[in-house]
Each structure stands twice: as structure tokens, then as C-alpha cells.
Structure 1
Amino acid sequence: MSAAKPTIAVVDYGMGNLRSVTKALEHVADGRAHITLTAQPEVVRAADKVVFPGQGAMKDCMAGLLESGLKDAVLEAAANKPFFGVCVGAQLLLDHSEEGDTPALGLYAGQVKRFPDGLSDAAGARLKVPHMGWNEVWQTARHPLFAGVADGSRFYFVHSYYMAPADAALSLGYAEYPFAFSAVIGRDNVFATQFHPEKSAAAGLKLLENFIAWDGQR
């Protein structure tokens, strides 16, 4: 990996807020990395680091990934280089989603489950699904990407389904709505968020800035 100016591939499989993610990375990189939005598997394989965004229905996202021919390149990247999953790009790393009864990539054991109807907060006020807006994220493990990000920082969420990894150690941070759910998962070289860092102001940009410098080691 080039320590001076790594290449970061943003995976374009037709799903996700790709322009916002790419622009946010370019902003925080400030010339310290080459940011490439790509739909080509060979470019993903050649990149030093990979960002895997996703937005929309899980079944459509998985279909887009398969039809684009990017599935194997994404799995290879998640196995051996610094890798940042965003929103559905994080959910896809688990085994299966209740959304459309969709098999996912299976990098980690776990399910993606729908928030149940009839949720309410501690005061009895109804909570809507999707969970949309700003929420606090509490860190459950030390990680280089959390450097300079205060515990309990607020990030922007838009989702009706949440990650439930089989191994609790996979969860690096949680949010509550109203019960606790995994907001960040990861292991080794992988860091993946349910929330959108590119929409999360200073705290989200700090995560992306830390990713620019991250060597994939814990």
C-alpha cells in the first residue's frame, strides 16, 4: 500500500448515495489520497482501500451487486484491505436480511431485522419506522477510526432494518431506538456503519478522515 497517497475505491453497483460519499472522502482526503468511484472489479481489486456504500432495498442492492459482477471483488477487499461499509453496505456483510427474505454476502454470521411496529420511547411517545434522523452512537470497543470522535456523538440514520450480528464482539458501537442495536460492526480490517458518515457533519467526516490514514490494523 502506498503510505503517501493511497487509492480508495468507492464501489458503484448502482445503489447508494455515491456522489455524497465520494465528495466527502475527497474533502477529508485533501489531496492525501486518490478517490475513485468505480463499477469495475479490477479497479476495486487494485485499490489500496475500499468504501462500500449502499442505499435502498436490500434485495435490489444484492441484485445490483450480483449483476455488476462486483460481488467477488468486494468480498476479496473485505478479506484483505481497509474496508468501510456504509448503511446497506454494512448490512450486506451479514448472512441474511428479513427485507425481501434476502441472502446477503455472509462475511459475518448474523441477521438484518426489521424494527417492529408499535415502538415507543421511555415517555410513551410513538417511534416511527423508518428510524430517521440524528441519534447518539456509543462505542463498545476501541478502534483507530474512533480517534477524535467523542463517545455518544450523534450520527445521521435512515433505516427500517437493523444489524444483529451473531457474535456480540463484532459490534463496535450501538444506538438505541428504543432498544440497543448495532450501529457499527467490524473486525480486523473492516469497519462498517449503519448510519451515513457522509451526512453526519463533523463526527462523520472525522471517521472518514481517520479511514484515509488507517492501515487496517486494530
Structure 2
Amino acid sequence: MLAILEYRAGNQTSVRRALEHLGISCTVTADPAVLGTAEGIIFPGVGAAGQAMEHLRSTGLDAVLRQAIDSGQPLLGICLGCQILLEHSEENNEDTLGIVPGRCLRFADDMRQEDGTPAPVPHMGWNSLHVRRAGRLLAGLDPASEFYFVHSYFVEPAPELVMATTTYGREFCSVYGRDGLWAVQFHLEKSGRPGLRILQNFYEYCREVRHA
């Protein structure tokens, strides 16, 4: 069973529906006991870094997430979850979870597409990945796959953690991590078959770790 973290930050129901479509048992929860016994944790989210961190700290869920990582429990961050796993976000000038070295920065308002046309912020739409290091999470993806993005901020993790980049006005990290701790900037639950493939890859890894 996968646990989807509930912390008043948006799209948990959409993630649950995507997992159910794959036949994967899951629950949306903020209960530390349930989170602790899950095969893996999905850490999704939409909204602002400051509000999300305030809720995580006030409920103690920040400590629950750190304990999960320290114990080797697999975790997958999505969108806002991807951003606040890092140390600091320019959004609200917020010190974030600090589980992963790096920071979250805002796109410049004057960005341009490769053809010279404006690249509006927020970045909204479908874009491909330039995979640098596929690993378990991105295994089996068609190189032409596109994913759905909605964000005004981009992540800048430690360089050795970058798994894939995307170009929109500039090149930015869109997937980072290591085995058992991954994060994606795009919305897996809204990215059709490629998004479902990544969720399936994550679940299969969780199963292997649980039953090793």
C-alpha cells in the first residue's frame, strides 16, 4: 500500500485516482502510524511554499517525512513536494524541509522561447524530458514522452542528483533524486501514460524494497 501525504496542499485526490487506475492500493493520510507502515510515500502538492511549510511544521509532518527518509522508506515528491524537499524556496523566502541539498528559484518574467517568442510565467503545458540518468524511476519511458507542467518556480538541487532536465525559456531540472528518494516537477497524475508509467515504476521499487 502507498500512502499519499495529506497536508492541505492540493491534488491528493487526483494522485489517488491515478494509482487506483493502475490497481495500486493507496490511501490519503496525515496519520504518522499509517505513513510509517506504508510501502512508500507520495508527497504531492500545489500551492505556495510558505503555507505548505507552516502546515507541515505545525502538525509535525516535517519530522515524519525526515524519519521516513532516514529509515529508508521510499518517497516520491511531485510538483510542490518536489520543491519543498530542498533547503530553501524563493517563494515566500521560505526555509523548506532540507531533506535534499538545493534551492527553488522563480522563473524570470522576461524569458523567451527558442523561437524568440515570450515564455510566460507560470510555465503551463506539455514538455519533454532530457534524461541524463534514467535509473529505476524513468525506466521504460519513450524518449518522445511529454509531461504536464504548471509552475512559476524551478528546482536547483545538487548537480549529482539531477536525473532529467526540461527546456522552457531556460533549461531547468525536472527530475532529481537517487534510488528510494525521487522528485518530479511535473504532474504525474495529469501526464497520461508516461505519468502512469513513472508511478508504476515507483510502486514496483517500493514492493521490491518491502519484500527484499
Q: Shorter-chain TM-score: which interval?
A: over 0.9
Equivalent in the alignment of 2:10: 16
C-alpha displacement of 1:47: 1.2
Does 1:124 find its partner at 2:109? Answer: no
Q: For 2:181 and 2:144, locate their aligned partners in 1 and report how far apart those are by CA, in whole Å.
A: 21
Q: What is the number of equivalent residue pairs in this alignment? A: 207
Q: For 2:152 and 2:18, locate their aligned partners in 1 and report how far apart those are by CA, in whole Å.
A: 24
Q: For 2:194 and 2:83, locate their aligned partners in 1 and report how far apart those are by CA, in whole Å.
A: 21
C-alpha displacement of 1:152: 4.2
> Which of 106, 112, 121 lines up with 2:104 in the alignment?
112
Q: Aligned-residue CA RMSD in angstroms?
A: 1.4
Does 1:189 find its partner at 2:183? Answer: no
5 Å matches for 1:1-218?
A: 7-28=1-22, 30=23, 33-79=24-70, 80-165=72-157, 167-215=158-206
C-alpha displacement of 1:206: 0.7
Q: For 1:78 and 1:16, locate their aligned partners in 2 and report how far apart those are by CA, in whole Å.
A: 22
Q: Is the 2:147–2:194 Cα contact (8 Å) retained in structure 1? A: yes
**Partner SS, residue 132 of structure 1:** strand
Q: Is the 1:15–1:64 Cα contact (8 Å) retained in structure 2? A: no
Q: Is the 2:129–2:164 Cα contact (8 Å) retained in structure 1? A: yes
**Partner SS, residue 144 of structure 1:** coil
Q: For 1:85 and 1:11, locate their aligned partners in 2 and report how far apart those are by CA, in whole Å.
A: 10
**Partner SS, residue 174 of structure 2:** strand
**Partner SS, residue 207 of structure 1:** helix
C-alpha displacement of 1:52: 0.5
Q: Is the 2:164–2:176 Cα contact (8 Å) retained in structure 1? A: yes
Q: For 1:149 and 1:116, locate their aligned partners in 2 and report how far apart those are by CA, in whole Å.
A: 30
Q: For 1:188 and 1:146, locate their aligned partners in 2 and report how far apart those are by CA, in whole Å.
A: 11
Q: For 2:115 and 2:26, locate their aligned partners in 1 and report how far apart those are by CA, in whole Å.
A: 45
Q: For 1:172 and 1:14, locate their aligned partners in 2 and report how far apart those are by CA, in whole Å.
A: 28
Structure 2: stretches of 5+ with no match in the other structure: none
**Partner SS, residue 175 of structure 1:** strand
C-alpha displacement of 1:179: 1.4
Q: Is the 2:129–2:174 Cα contact (8 Å) retained in structure 1? A: yes
Deviations 1:10-30 (A, max 9, x none): 0001112010001101111x1
TM-score normalised by structure 1 residue count: 0.91
Deviations 1:138-186 (A, max 9, x none): 1110311212212242100000000011x21111111011211110011
